[in-house]
Structure 1
């Protein structure tokens, strides 16, 4: 049986070292992303690194089998479409990234098994499982930690609710106050708020702010005639 003949302890050790290195280095990259609470965090980056290492290691072992290597390439590209279907976006929330990355890792395991590289398939499966189990408590612990506004990369929006009669003056003052605070405005949106008010939103170019500075801008805005409410918020982005 070809699968049994392909088992070579030295080759398996080499595969283990390669995939372990990918696991560790992918975890390091993912840890930085997880600490910043990005969508593609610790497990996703680790799974992608493990999957890539397995595919490359398998292609390396299939030297001389040009057809098999081409099939591996087709699997890599094809599984991307399947993974994309598992990713869902609802508002600012993105789900399914770990599922997509796991599918990619599973494809690597299946490709190894199909190539009769059973030992390599076992190693790959163990590291995919480790990515989803051993790293889960780390992810949960990090996600419970608050992230400071200064450290986050986000889209910042200053919003003001004012009477429609005061809208032109409030808009001018909003832009002047933000300019004075060195926060240039990328976009301004306005829409009715209730029967007699207007909500103005100013999106900033900045991806990091000093909260105290924006708080002072809010205080100045709330002191204007006709202003019902002023506030700012941040939406995390990749």
Structure 2
């Protein structure tokens, strides 16, 4: 039977391992970041501990299955993962983050049941997969490029710009919007994007300038 200090250590360890993976997602501005991964890992760990303690309290009196309660985490985490998946045109984003949440729940369950080696190895493999393979996937892209533009303050502009960038296979990493001090009816937008090597900046600039209301476009590598 688990003692209180051992439960505390398992909960702490699960938060550290979950946070390790969540930090990588947070650094890439994903929908589910540091806090979400930590909470999933701690919650999964707690449910696993509860399963073990409940089974210990009724062992010998009934044919209880200690894995039944913990098994619901595996299916239940799918609802949370689905919230991080977004569809933009023909592109689906967030699958990797959803998968990392699912794996983190498994890490929490492993720590909660006392399988520390499996939890550590899984965390290491997941972190390497998210960092190293991401670089391989992005090998055909340039370094981060700043795209700044000036546009009229009217609804739908960001969506139109995103559609143009999507046509050229340009990935948006971050976007900032602010009003111009001189003209209140105009906005300044700054996009941080990954541009494929075969794409010409002039072609993208002309395509964006065709959007009504946009007056100035600049690429800064």
Give the TM-score category using the shorter length. Answer: 0.3 to 0.5
TM-score normalized by structure 2?
A: 0.38
Larger radius of gyration: 1
Q: TM-score, normalised by structure 1?
A: 0.36
